[in-house]
């Protein structure tokens, strides 16, 4: 912990390695990537710049570890995951601080809750090992036909930087529980907390079962996706890269799970001009994660009768959020991950400001001077526009920019909500529960919340419709669907008795 605080305050730099076959190693090339603290625009660490050669080593190690791990009694695998959960629980604060330092997410509102969720994911899957059940099929008394849930082999998993330890845990725990081995590629912008989580995992695992690489997408992620020994691909990140991962999967006919972007709608009914709904919208928009969330409710369909008054309340709540150093307790909202994303977000705000039809309700471009200009800090921003067809209403911004669109006819609101190539999450706000549920059923999204805007909980079905992805991983069913394959065994019970 002291080391993390020193790095946060001085120009000290952490040196971290990757995990291959139970050993902590540099890249074969010896090259490194610099990791930056985005709240100060300052280097804090260097990690190996893995490439195809490193991928090869990691995949081969995972492949060698597979036979023994896959035949380990499932409950014993589960027991190890539960031990990992306990070990992680003892180090949550350290992991959370490292995460806040490297990805700019505020410690109190984001990094700590994410660390708790990470440990929870190991707890949840640790208890599920006995649920890898098959079934018997009643073909008649002369035959015994049954299915087994078998692991797939080496899983290649690639994760992004926005919730790296939670998303990393969501690959590691179900894949290992089901008897697969894993090569995980961390995101180049936020590898440190993942490496610490993995270090704790490794204390309880046989070598080669879990391997972790650091490196860039094209140099390290792509060779992993294309590796012939990888039997399953699991990717969380942008839709563009998701498509390339799916193409790689199609070349070898391996199953693929994709958790991609979103442009999730919030529909607010006229009976909801109330404070708790405004709080819910702030939560659903993930303003305190700078809205760098695939489930951000970034299109708000607000009933015309309450449009101005609701936005006035939203303005006062959103502007009350304290933006600043992610490591300070009082901070509600930290910084954007890196320069590229920061410029992208500013580009969208600029577009909104230039568009005649759009009105800036509050926020705008980030401050160019003062303490916030030290890091990639953006401010909560809302544009009002009657159209759902412009760029800000269609593309995933991945920054704190919300578009508010008025409606009068419920059918119009639902039609606009569905008029998107994404379909990850959605939020409906009304006191009339029947109406809320009818809307929930009509919305084309994998996850609809009525009257709340919370994050995922292990155990629920979570994943996208349309271009937001395919497959589910968050639950028992997700583990079974995404990380096992079914084998049928049929036995003739009427073979002649010998002798
Ligand atoms: P990205 O999709 O490029 O990166 C995610 C992960 O994929 C990283 O580990 C990266 O190294 C890897 N990757 C990149 N290119 C690859 C390739 N060709 N083959 C294999 N792996 C590859 O996301 P990025 O560039 O960090 O963010 C760009 C946009 O993506 C964001 O503005 C946001 O809209 C979206 N995004 C969505 C996320 C989600 O959870 N839905 C998470 C992160 C980004
Ligand atoms: Mg990228």
- Ligand 1 neighbour 215 (Cβ under 6 A): no
d(CA 40, CA 79): 41
Hunting for tokens 């509050």 — which residue is that?
A: 362
Distance 217 CA to ligand 2 centre (A): 7
| Catalytic residue (choose from 177, 201, 272, 294) | 294
Q: Tell which wins on pLDDT, 2 or 419.
A: 419
Distance of CA 369 to the CA centre of its chain: 32
Query: Where along the chain do its domains lie?
Result: 2-260, 265-450
Distance (Å) from CA 112 to ligand 1 centroid? 23
Q: Exposed, middle or buried, 48 (CB in 10 Å: 0-12/13-18/19+)?
A: buried
Contact status, residue 141 vs residue 374, Cβ threshold 8 Å:
no
**CB 162 less than 6 A from any atom of ligand 1:** yes
Spatial CA neighbour of 137 closest among 129, 121, 122, 148 = 148
Q: Contacts for 2-10 with beta carbons within 8 Å, 24 or more apart?
A: 4/94, 4/97, 4/98, 4/101, 5/97, 7/44, 7/45, 7/101, 8/37, 8/44, 8/97, 8/101, 8/327
Q: Residue 387 has what pLDDT?
A: 95
Residue nearest to atom 12 of ligand 1 (CA): 217
Pairing of strands 265-268, 256-259: unpaired
240 Cα–ligand 2 center, Å: 9
Nearest CA to ligand 1 atom 27: 238
CA distance 48 to 215: 7
Question: What is the rounded distance in angstroms from the CA atom of residue 337 to the CA atom of residue 207?
Answer: 32
Distance set, CA 257 to CA 279, 285, 473 (Å): 33, 25, 8
Please tell me whether residue 54 adopts helix, strand or coil conformation.
helix
In DSSP terms, 466 is beta-bridged to: 422
Distance from Cα 407 to the centre of ligand 2, integer Å: 36
Instruction: Say yes or no: CB of residue 221 within 6 Å of ligand 1.
Output: yes
Q: What is the average per-residue pLDDT within 148-162?
A: 98
Calculated CA dihedral for residues 183, 157, 483, 74, nearest 10 degrees: 40
Tokens of 286: 């993930």
Average pLDDT, integer, range 129-157: 97
- Taking the CA of 188 as reference, the closest ligand is 1
Q: Is the CB of 164 under 6 A from ligand 1?
A: no
Q: Vertex 327, ends 192 and 289: CA angle to 5°?
A: 80
Whole-number pLDDT of residue 497: 83
What residue has token string 């490292």? Answer: 98
SS3 382: strand
Q: Is 473 a catalytic residue?
A: no
**Among candidate residues 482, 458, 471, the one with its CA nearest the CA of residue 126:** 458
| CA 444 to ligand 2 center in whole angstroms | 27
**Token digits for 117?**
């969720």
Which ligand sits nearest to residue 166's alpha carbon?
1
Q: What proportion of the chain, given as a percentage, has pLDDT over 90?
A: 97
Instruction: Report pLDDT for 2.
Output: 84
d(CA 99, CA 455): 18
User: Cα dihedral angle (345, 350, 356, 358), rounded to 10 degrees?
Assistant: 30
Q: Which ligand approaches the C-alpha of residue 216 most closely?
A: 1
Active site residue 259: yes
pLDDT tier at 498, thresholds 50, 70, 90: confident
Q: Mean per-residue pLDDT for 87-94?
A: 98
Average pLDDT over the chain, rounded to whole?
Answer: 97
The encoded tokens of residue 275 equal: 């404070």
- What is the pLDDT at residue 1? 79
How far does the centroid of ligand 2 lie from the alpha carbon of residue 442, in Å? 33
What pLDDT does 64 receive? 98
Residue 499 pLDDT greater than 80, yes or no: no
Helix (H) or strand (E) holding 347: helix 339-354
Give the Cα separation of 438 and 435 in Å (integer).
Answer: 5
Pairing of the two strands 23-25 and 14-15: unpaired
In the sheet that holds 136-137, the strands lie side by side as 136-137, 143-151, 484-492
Residue 227 has pLDDT above 80, yes or no: yes
Q: Which ligand minimizes its atom distance to the CA of 240?
A: 1
Q: Does ligand 1 have an atom closer than 6 angstroms to the CB of 260?
A: yes
Ligand 1 pocket, mutate which of 241, 296, 346, 348 (most atoms under 8 A from CB): 241
Mean pLDDT for the stretch of residues 75-93: 98
Confidence class for position 462, pLDDT limits 50, 70, 90: very high
Question: Could you confirm whether domain 2-260 is CATH 3.90.420.10?
Answer: no
**CATH 3.30.930.10 matches 265-450:** no
pTM of the shown model: 0.98
| Contacts of residue 272, Cβ cutoff 8 Å, sequence gap at least 6 | 303, 306, 310, 429, 430, 431
Q: How many CB atoms lie within 10 A of CB 461?
A: 15
């Amino acid at each position: 912990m002291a080391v993390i605080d020193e790095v946060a305050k001085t120009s000290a730099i952490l040196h971290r390695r990757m995990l291959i076959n139970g050993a902590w190693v540099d890249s074969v090339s010896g090259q490194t990537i610099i990791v930056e603290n985005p709240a100060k625009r300052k280097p804090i660490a260097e990690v190996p710049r893995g490439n195809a050669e490193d991928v090869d080593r990691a995949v081969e190690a995972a492949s060698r570890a597979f036979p023994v791990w896959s035949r380990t009694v499932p409950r014993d695998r589960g027991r190890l995951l539960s031990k990992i959960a306990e070990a992680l629980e003892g180090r949550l604060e350290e992991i959370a601080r490292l995460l806040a330092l490297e990805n700019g997410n505020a410690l109190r509102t984001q990094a700590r809750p994410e660390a708790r969720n990470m440990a929870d994911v190991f707890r949840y899957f640790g208890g599920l090992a006995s649920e890898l059940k098959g079934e018997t099929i009643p073909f008649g008394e002369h035959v015994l036909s049954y299915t087994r849930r078998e692991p797939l082999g080496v899983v290649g998993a690639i994760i992004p930087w926005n919730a790296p330890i939670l998303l990393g845990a969501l690959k590691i725990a179900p894949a290992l529980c089901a008897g697969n081995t894993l090569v995980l590629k961390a995101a180049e912008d936020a590898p440190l907390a993942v490496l610490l989580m993995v270090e704790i995992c490794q204390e309880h695992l046989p070598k080669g079962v879990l391997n972790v690489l650091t490196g860039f997408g094209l140099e390290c992620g792509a060779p992993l996706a294309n590796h012939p020994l990888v039997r399953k691909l699991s990717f969380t990140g942008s839709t563009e890269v998701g498509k390339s991962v799916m193409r790689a999967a199609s070349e070898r006919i391996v199953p693929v799970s994709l958790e991609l972007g979103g442009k999730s709608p919030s529909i607010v009914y006229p009976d909801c001009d109330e404070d708790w709904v405004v709080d819910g919208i702030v939560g659903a928009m993930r303003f305190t994660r700078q809205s760098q969330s695939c489930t951000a409710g970034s299109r708000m369909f607000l009933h015309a009768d309450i449009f101005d008054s609701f936005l006035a309340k939203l303005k006062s709540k959103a502007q009350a959020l304290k933006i600043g150093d992610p490591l300070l307790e009082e901070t509600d909202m930290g910084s954007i991950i890196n320069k590229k994303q920061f410029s992208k977000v500013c580009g969208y705000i600029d577009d909104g400001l230039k568009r005649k039809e759009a009105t800036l309700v509050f926020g705008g471009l980030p401050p160019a001077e003062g303490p916030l200009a030290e890091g990639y800090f953006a401010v909560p921003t809302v544009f009002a526009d009657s159209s759902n067809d412009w760029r800000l209403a269609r593309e995933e911004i991945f920054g704190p920019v919300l578009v508010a669109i008025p409606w009068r006819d419920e059918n119009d609101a639902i039609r606009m909500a569905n008029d998107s190539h994404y379909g990850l999450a959605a939020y409906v706000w009304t006191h009339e529960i029947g109406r809320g549920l009818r809307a929930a059923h009509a919305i084309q999204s994998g996850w609809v919340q009525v009257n709340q805007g919370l994050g995922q909980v292990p155990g629920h079905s979570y994943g996208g419709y349309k271009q937001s992805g395919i497959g589910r991983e968050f639950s028992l069913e997700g583990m079974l669907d995404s990380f096992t394959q079914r084998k049928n065994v049929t036995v003739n019970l009427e073979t002649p008795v010998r002798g």
